[in-house]
Amino acid sequence: MSVVIRECDSYDPESVYRAVESAIGELGGIRNFVKRGERVLLKPNLLSAHEPSRNITTNPEVVRAVARLCKDVGAHVAIGDSPALDSFQRVCVKTGMVGIADELNIDLVEFTHPAVVRDISKNVFKRIELAKQVFEADKIINIPKLKTHSQMLMTLGVKNNFGTVVKQAKAEWHSTAGTSRELFATLLLDIYLSVRPSLTILDGIWGMEGMGPTNGVSKHIGIVAASEHAILLDLAVLTMLNIEWERFPVFRQAKLRNLIDPSIEPSSFKGIIPDKFSKIPFSIPKLDSMNVIPKGLEALTRKYLVSKPLIVKELCERCERCRSICPKGAIKRVRNELTIDYDLCIRCYCCQEVCDRDAIRFKKGIFLKITERLF
Ligand code: SF4
Ligand code: SF4
């Protein structure tokens, strides 16, 4: 099984370096993935401008460890991402990436210009545009953060590649997928297969549980994980956290598309998950089971059955981040208050993702209420 999980208790720089080096070592060492003179693009999760202690973004120590290893073999390293709302420069300062770039003399590259994916042989979506730096790099190293996600359950190795979609195009993809989590998971897999990271290194030292990816609760887990296969890495992490694979839309779609060896099951990861991590209590978002809704009933579903975002007026500071990100223009300012037009809303929960004040909560849909009663 080509997934490695290493214990790492804190962000002490040398402890993180040893854990990352050891995990990659078990996969054959960094030279197995990166050669002298190659251009290596590191893709951490730089969702928004927050301090590392909030655990919203990949911790700089994990990025530093990977960068050091790549530099040691003589690669040209850059760190890149495309935050959805905040300025890239501000995100890099807040998240600690500027410090690493200065110290190790590496570039910070904002994804601004898209290029069309050429090899679409394995894709469902036949036209996808990703940051041109993805195609210019010789190698991509994917460095996600372990977090929950209110729409996709978890954001781990596969989903982190969505950051290679340039800025506003992210909202357009949400709009295209509409209420369908399955379609969005299909897109995430297409993007992952197009980016084809050589290696995924997960920052699971501190993660986020509850209603992530921004407003959840920090959770100490104490691991770094590594794999050449982000889908397998994601499944190993789900197993470690006792989350049923079937609840994870990316798994359901990967299984449908035969992207996972059918002989692989949770017990396949038994040997790689250290005993002390096998029963970590971990709170995940409760998702509506929209995948059981018959096709053609989407409009009805959206309006009456699926949990809807609600703006808590007392917490809202009217920054309008939610309004800026909404792919459907469903959030409006009316008499100095933000309101949601539920006829337009597609329940993508991007607004909840970017709200720094945790002012967007959920009103449970009928599906979720029934499911909760049954199970
Ligand atoms: S992002 Fe949050 S705080 Fe800002 S306007 Fe929207 S609900 Fe209010
Ligand atoms: S209101 Fe929120 S959940 Fe609805 S479409 Fe806009 S961003 Fe998505």
Q: Which of 149, 351, 353, 362 to mutate to test the pocket of ligand 2 (most atoms within 8 A of CB)?
A: 351
**Model confidence band, residue 302 (pLDDT cutoffs 50, 70, 90):** low
**End-to-end Cα distance, the chain:** 33
Q: Which of 214, 312, 320 to mutate to test the pocket of ligand 1 (most atoms within 8 A of CB)?
A: 320
Ligand nearest to the CA of 85: 1
Q: Which of 194-198, 233-237, 302-306, 333-337 has the lowest mean pLDDT?
A: 302-306
Question: What tokens were used for 110?
Answer: 């904002």
The torsion angles phi and psi of 331, rounded to 5 degrees, stand at -105, 125
Evaluate if residue 293 carries a pLDDT over 60: no
Going by CA atoms, what residue is nearest to atom 8 of ligand 2? Answer: 348
Share of the chain above pLDDT 90, in %: 85
pLDDT tens sequence across 114-149: 999 999 999 999 999 999 999 999 999 999 999 999
Does the Cβ of 317 fall within 6 Å of ligand 1? yes
Q: What is the dihedral of CA 363, 368, 369, 371, to 10 degrees?
A: -170
The torsion angles phi and psi of 157, rounded to 5 degrees, stand at -70, -45
Note whether 45 and 163 are within 8 A (CB).
Answer: yes
CA-based nearest residue to 65, from 113, 117, 25: 25
Q: Measured between alpha carbons, how far is residue 16 from residues 103, 243, 286 in Å? A: 17, 26, 32
pLDDT tens sequence across 113-122: 999 999 999 9
Going by CA atoms, what residue is nearest to atom 6 of ligand 2? Answer: 326
Evaluate if residue 291 carries a pLDDT over 70: no
Note whether 273 and 240 are within 8 A (CB).
Answer: yes
Question: What tokens were used for 335?
Answer: 């008499």
What is the atom index within ligand 1 of the atom nearest the CA of 319? 4
Which residues does 196 contact at the CB level (< 8 Å), separation at least 6?
140
Note whether 77 and 105 are within 8 A (CB).
Answer: no
**Model confidence band, residue 215 (pLDDT cutoffs 50, 70, 90):** very high
Evaluate if residue 237 carries a pLDDT over 60: yes
Note whether 322 and 355 are within 8 A (CB).
Answer: yes
Compute, in angstroms, the gap from residue 142 CA to the centroid of ligand 2: 28
Distance CA 368, CA 136 (A): 44
Distance CA 48, CA 45 (A): 9
Q: How deeply is 8 buried, as exposed, middle or buried, from its count of CB atoms within 10 A (0-12, 13-18, 19+)?
A: buried
Q: Please report the pLDDT score of residue 295 as a whole number.
A: 58
Note whether 95 and 60 are within 8 A (CB).
Answer: yes
Ligand nearest to the CA of 322: 1
**Model confidence band, residue 244 (pLDDT cutoffs 50, 70, 90):** very high
Distance CA 55, CA 204 (A): 10
pTM of the model: 0.94
Q: Which of 99-103, 176-180, 197-201, 357-361 has the lowest mean pLDDT?
A: 176-180
Going by CA atoms, what residue is nearest to atom 7 of ligand 2? Answer: 326
Phi-psi region of 371 (alpha: psi -120 to 50; beta: other; left: phi over 0): alpha
Ligand nearest to the CA of 215: 1
Q: What type of residue sits at position 145?
A: K
Question: DSSP secondary-structure letter at 305?
Answer: I
pLDDT tens sequence across 274-289: 889 987 899 999 876 5
Please state whether the peptide bond connecting residue 213 to the residue before it is cis, i.e. omega within 30 degrees of 0.
yes
Evaluate if residue 250 carries a pLDDT over 60: yes
pLDDT tens sequence across 11-50: 999 999 999 999 999 999 999 999 999 999 999 999 999 9
How much is the mean pLDDT over the chain?
A: 93
Average of pLDDT values for 83-110? 97
**Model confidence band, residue 186 (pLDDT cutoffs 50, 70, 90):** very high
Evaluate if residue 267 carries a pLDDT over 80: yes
Average of pLDDT values for 222-240? 98
Compute, in angstroms, the gap from residue 313 CA to the centroid of ligand 1: 9
Evaluate if residue 83 carries a pLDDT over 80: yes
Evaluate if residue 300 carries a pLDDT over 80: no
Does the Cβ of 357 fall within 6 Å of ligand 1? yes
Distance CA 43, CA 131 (A): 11
Distance CA 162, CA 166 (A): 9
Residue position matching structure tokens 């597609």: 346
Share of the chain above pLDDT 70, in %: 92
Q: Please report the pLDDT score of residue 58 as a whole number.
A: 98
Compute, in angstroms, the gap from residue 286 CA to the centroid of ligand 1: 22
Q: Spell out the domains of the chain, with CATH numbers in brackets.
A: 3-277 (3.40.50.11440), 290-374 (3.30.70.20)
Evaluate if residue 374 carries a pLDDT over 80: no
Question: What tokens were used for 231?
Answer: 């889908």
Q: Please report the pLDDT score of residue 178 as a whole number.
A: 82
CA-based nearest residue to 360, from 340, 375, 344, 346: 340
Q: What type of residue sits at position 292?
A: V
Provide the angle, in degrees to the nearest 10, between the axes of the packed helices 60-72 and 13-26: 60
Distance CA 78, CA 71 (A): 10
Q: Which of 348, 353, 361, 362 to mutate to test the pocket of ligand 2 (most atoms within 8 A of CB)?
A: 348
Compute, in angstroms, the gap from residue 316 CA to the centroid of ligand 1: 5
Which residues does 275 contact at the CB level (< 8 Å), separation at least 6?
none
- DSSP labels, 340-357: E-TTT-----HHHHH-TT
C-alpha neighbours within 13 Å on the C-beta side of residue 132: 4
Distance CA 288, CA 307 (A): 7
Q: Please report the pLDDT score of residue 296 as a whole number.
A: 63
Evaluate if residue 328 carries a pLDDT over 60: yes
Q: Please report the pLDDT score of residue 366 as a whole number.
A: 66
Compute, in angstroms, the gap from residue 259 CA to the centroid of ligand 2: 30
Helix or strand or coil: residue 43? strand
